[in-house]
């Protein structure tokens, strides 16, 4: 994923890594964070910070952030399975909660359409 800055001449960016399926960060579990500093000063929205997620041969999550405009400016963070804070059951529960959250608007729309159809039928009597 590619991100950018929101203010002019930022000397660095703060990268936070979360685990979970929630739509908002507070609904997820913070795995770790790091600072990519020394990026080239530029107006906001100009820097292109590429963040990648991968697994190494030990199945540890590796997160890397690199400034495309500053060659060689990259920072990595590795997290072993035991450092990741959520159990399989917790991840499944969070995933189910997130799925339910996304299905709720569809249920409301369907219920509204049924109510409108019913009201239209009642008016026709």
| Average pLDDT of the segment spanning 48-70 | 89
Based on the fold, state whether residues 2 and 28 are members of the same structural domain: yes
Which pLDDT score is estimated for 51? Answer: 94
Based on the fold, state whether residues 70 and 105 are members of the same structural domain: no
Based on the fold, state whether residues 81 and 103 are members of the same structural domain: no
Based on the fold, state whether residues 15 and 49 are members of the same structural domain: yes
Which pLDDT score is estimated for 65? Answer: 94
| pLDDT at residue 83 is higher than 80 | no
Query: pLDDT tens-digit profile of 17-54?
Result: 888 777 888 888 888 889 998 888 899 999 999 999 99
Overall domain count for the chain: 2
* CA distances (Å), origin 26, targets 20, 23, 43, 58, 69: 10, 9, 29, 29, 31
Based on the fold, state whether residues 31 and 92 are members of the same structural domain: no
Domain with 28, as residue range(s), is 1-85
Based on the fold, state whether residues 54 and 111 are members of the same structural domain: no
Which pLDDT score is estimated for 63? Answer: 92
Based on the fold, state whether residues 52 and 112 are members of the same structural domain: no
| Average pLDDT of the segment spanning 59-87 | 80
Based on the fold, state whether residues 80 and 98 are members of the same structural domain: no
| Average pLDDT of the segment spanning 62-74 | 88
């Amino acid at each position: 994923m590619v991100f950018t800055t929101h203010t002019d001449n930022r000397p660095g960016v703060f990268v936070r890594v979360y685990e979970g399926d929630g739509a908002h960060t507070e609904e997820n579990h913070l795995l770790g964070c790091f600072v990519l500093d020394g990026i080239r000063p530029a107006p906001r929205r100009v820097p292109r910070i590429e963040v990648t997620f991968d697994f190494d041969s030990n199945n540890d999550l590796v997160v890397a952030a690199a400034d495309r405009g500053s060659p060689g400016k990259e920072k990595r963070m590795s997290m072993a399975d035991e450092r990741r804070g959520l159990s399989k059951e917790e991840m499944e529960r969070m995933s189910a909660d997130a799925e339910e959250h996304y299905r709720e608007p569809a249920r409301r729309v369907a219920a509204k359409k049924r109510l409108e159809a019913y009201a239209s039928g009642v008016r026709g009597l």
